[in-house]
Amino acid sequence: MGGEIRRPGARRGPYRCHLALDGAGRPFGYLQCYRNLDWPEWAEQIAVDGGLSIDLYIGEPAYVGGGYGRAMLGGYVREVTFALYPEEMRCFIAHAQDNAAALACSRAVGFRDVGPFVEDGVQMQLLVIERDQIASR
């Protein structure tokens, strides 16, 4: 699940940033969330009229492939994202279509496929989870 966080762009704006910590309090991942409508170009690119989006990155190789990504993403959606934006009912995440590990992680958390799109020449897959789906997991 590596790569750089680019969305919603390099400019400053309305998004929330967080670190994921392991059981010993060591940071291993970065997450950010934002309302899609606060980033109109992004909302248009993924063809949505609302909801939230999440970007994430595991920065420590030792934490890749050990279930940390699933725990990080699941906890973030359940405990943080929807709590920060109580008016939003859907949360989106996007991964490169060739990033099988990231796609499997998001699907394991409960995200379902919405459809493909292209970002900066890369074939991407958009996924979504509804607020009531995460609450029932």
Q: Please spell the DSSP secondary structure of 66-81, one letter per residue.
A: SSHHHHHHHHIIIIII
Torsion of CA 115, 118, 124, 127, to 10 degrees: -40
The strand order across the sheet containing 27-35 reads: 16-21, 27-35, 52-58, 90-96, 122-130, 112-119
Nearest-angstrom CA–CA distance, 20 and 74: 12
pLDDT string in tens for the chain (137-residue length): 344 444 554 445 688 999 999 989 999 999 999 999 999 999 999 999 999 999 999 988 999 988 999 999 999 999 999 999 999 999 999 999 999 999 999 999 999 999 999 999 999 999 999 999 876 55
Handedness of CA 110, 16, 63, 78 (dihedral sign): negative
Domains of the chain: which residue ranges? Answer: 16-135
Nearest-angstrom CA–CA distance, 63 and 6: 21
With 0-12 CB in 10 A as exposed, 13-18 as middle and 19+ as buried, what is 41?
exposed
Q: Give the number of C-alpha atoms closer than 13 A to the C-alpha of residue 59, restricted to the C-beta side.
A: 14
Topology adopted by domain 16-135: Aminopeptidase (3.40.630)
| Bond preceding residue 8 cis, omega within 30 of 0 | yes
Rounded to whole angstroms, what are the CA distances from 34 to 17, 39, 78, 105? Answer: 9, 8, 15, 20
